[in-house]
Structure 1
Amino acid sequence: MNDRPGFHLAVPVDDLARARDFYGGVLGLREGRSTGTWVDWDLAGHQLVTHAVPGPPRGPAGYGSVGDHRVPVPHFGLLLPVAEFHAFADRLRAAGTEFVIEPVLRFAGEPAEQWTMFFLDPAGNALEFKAFSDPAQVFAR
């Protein structure tokens, strides 16, 4: 067993070349192992695998309500420090990313105060990146 906790997530993509452009180019993730049907990505030390699955982009299965927003479900992403969140949002804007939910501060003044943004990869997989104003409050109740 590995001493470092982490996760492995596999997502379907309809085109590996577009996945490489997006995950490697736009998001700036380091590419790991690959074959003609899948590519491993380093998502902050976690293994994200894009698997080629023929067919049209799928998109979210639905939307859930969180505060004043309807968020795409399922989704995945990372918790970032606030400064990294804003730098990443700037990088996405510069790349012409279309946001499902533009970078926004949610729950202002509450323990769960956080910056969040949602967008889709080219295959329609929803991603959320967020930053808590106080990282100690991530799991606060």
Structure 2
Amino acid sequence: MKRTITPFHVAIPVHNLAECRTFYREVLGCEEGRSSDHWVDFDLFGHQVVIHYKPKVQEDLHTNPVDGKNVPVPHYGVVLAWDTFQTFSEDLKSKGVTFVIEPYIRFAGEVGEQATMFFLDPAGNALEFKAFKDMDQLFAK
């Protein structure tokens, strides 16, 4: 089945709009779109991410085990092309991003083999970026 990519929209709560605005623009390399005093639109690999101010709430980071790693829940992110993932992960390392899960190959040699990485934005939101060598395995069982 030929897949078409439709951009998604996600709203992310942040307690420090200025700090997160800088992170999404300068660390992730997102182009900034519209904004107000309470929110900022970004282009994240062709998808609309909007950071919205929300007062800080103290929550513990919850995780679920996947492939021997503790995956943060909730999280959001983007499935990238294999080469884009490699370049992006190296760029993040060069910028000193602290990873919750360092870039690695998950499910090596199995259905759904993928490159993946997790890190937090300055508001503590978990982000996952991944790539499949074979995009036809994105939903394979």
Residue of structure 2 equivalent to 1:19: 20
Residue of structure 2 equivalent to 1:77: 77
**Secondary structure, in 3 states, of the residue corresponding to 2:109?**
coil
Q: What amino acid is the match of 2:85?
A: F
Residue of structure 2 equivalent to 1:6: 7
Determine the C-alpha separation between the residues in 2 that align with 1:136 and 1:98: 31
How far does the alpha carbon of each residue in 1:112-133 deviate from its partner, in whole angstroms, 9 at most, with x for none?
A: 1111000000000000000112
How far does the alpha carbon of each residue in 1:91-117 deviate from its partner, in whole angstroms, 9 at most, with x for none?
A: 111111000000011111112111100
Structure 2 residue runs of 5 or longer lacking an equivalent are none
Question: Structure 1 segments of 4 or more deviating over 4 A?
Answer: 56-59
Fraction of identical pairs, as percent: 53
Number of matched pairs: 137
Corresponding position: 1:30 with 2:31:
yes
Residue of structure 2 equivalent to 1:65: 65
Determine the C-alpha separation between the residues in 1 that align with 2:83 and 2:8: 24
Residue of structure 1 equivalent to 2:100: 100
Determine the C-alpha separation between the residues in 1 that align with 2:57 and 2:29: 25
Structure 1 residue runs of 5 or longer lacking an equivalent are none
Q: What amino acid is the match of 1:64?
A: N
Deviation at 1:53, TM superposition (A): 1.2
Q: What amino acid is the match of 1:14?
A: H
The answer (yes or no) to whether the contact 1:32–1:41 under 8 Å persists in 2 is yes
Determine the C-alpha separation between the residues in 1 that align with 2:138 and 2:21: 31
Q: What amino acid is the match of 1:30?
A: E
**Secondary structure, in 3 states, of the residue corresponding to 1:83?**
helix
**Secondary structure, in 3 states, of the residue corresponding to 2:71?**
strand
Q: What amino acid is the match of 2:124?
A: G
What TM-score does the superposition give when structure 2 sets the normalisation length? 0.91
Residue of structure 2 equivalent to 1:51: 52
Deviation at 1:58, TM superposition (A): 4.9
